[in-house]
Structure 1
């Protein structure tokens, strides 16, 4: 199986490379931060490798993230059931109306569960946002709007869109460095998240 693993920053790529399994052929792509950079870089990699006769079988977005408090803990592995664009829709005065409700597409893409069946962790929706949640009030709003969401990150839906439009299965795996809305980095643990990321990739 040939896997394209997409991550945002070099530190994540190093953790992913450390978990590389010999049973798969795996390319690791550092796409940059945010859904737009992720979609563009992923689509380009899929197209370029296809032209060289090195087609991918599956695309994975992997990296660290924030988890919703009470749904996962720092260091946990999160496995997405769906990648959800939490800001994609119409911002009404009292709520966000997602694309699903207005007939212009969907703000969620289902994830392939076969690839991640052996990965141990917390399963649920992972939200994609273009801006990191910066307050506990905003975190509570998102948690209430998406009761099945376990975490938030910034690239998943972009990678999922590129994979989906290329006809490739998609999976998203994240590991928790902090809780959503908590901006006090003194309580964050990047090392624990990156260590868990290595273990999760090894289980693919």
Structure 2
């Protein structure tokens, strides 16, 4: 099996490389931060490798993330059931209206669970946002809007969109470095998150 693993930054890619599973042929791509960079880099790579990515069997977005308090903890591995674009829609005065409701597509892409079935971790939706949540109030708002979400990151939906358009299955695997809304980096643990990411990728 040939797998394209997409990471936002080099540190995440190094963690993935450290957990490389020799059972599969794995290419690791550093896309840059955010959904647009992730979608563009993934689409370009898939397009350059055969007819719309058929040289690959599956696409995985891997990296660190924030977890919603009470749903996961620092160091946990999060395995996405769905990649959800948390900001794709209309911000009405009284609620957020996802793009699904206005007939212009969907803000949700389901993840293939076959590749991650042996992986231990917390399963649920992972939100993709273009802006990192910077307050407890916004974190509470997102948690209320998305009761099935376990974490937030910035690339998943972009990678998932490129994979979907190439006709390839997609998975998202993240490890938790901080809680959503907590901007005090003194309490973050990148080392624990990257170590967890390495261990998780050994199970693919």
Same fold (TM over 0.5): yes
Q: How many angstroms does 1:96 deviate by?
A: 1.2
Q: CA deviation at 1:65?
A: 0.1
Please state how far the C-alpha of 1:54 moved relative to its aligned partner.
7.2
Alignment map for 1:69-88 (pairs within 5 Å): 69-88=69-88
- 1:139 is displaced (CA, Å) by 0.1
* CA deviations over 1:144-195 (Å, ceiling 9, x no partner): 0000000000000000000000000000000000000000000000000000
Q: Which runs of 5+ in 1 are unaligned?
A: none
C-alpha separation between the residues in 1 aligned to 2:83 and 2:54? 26
Instruction: Give 1:126's aligned residue.
Output: 126
Q: For each residue in 1:31-83, what CA deviation from the matched residue of structure 2 results, as whole angstroms up to 9, or x when unmatched?
A: 000000000000000011116x9700000000000000000000000000000
Let me know the Cα RMSD of the aligned residues. Answer: 1.2
Secondary structure in structure 2 of the residue aligned to 1:131? coil
TM-score by length of 2: 0.98
Query: What secondary structure, in the 3-state scheme, does the structure 1 residue paired with 2:83 have?
Result: strand
Q: Which runs of 4+ in 1 moved over 4 A?
A: none
Unaligned runs of 5+ in 2: none
Distance in 1 (alpha carbons) for counterparts of 2:97 and 2:45: 33
Distance 1:198 1:154 in 2: 20
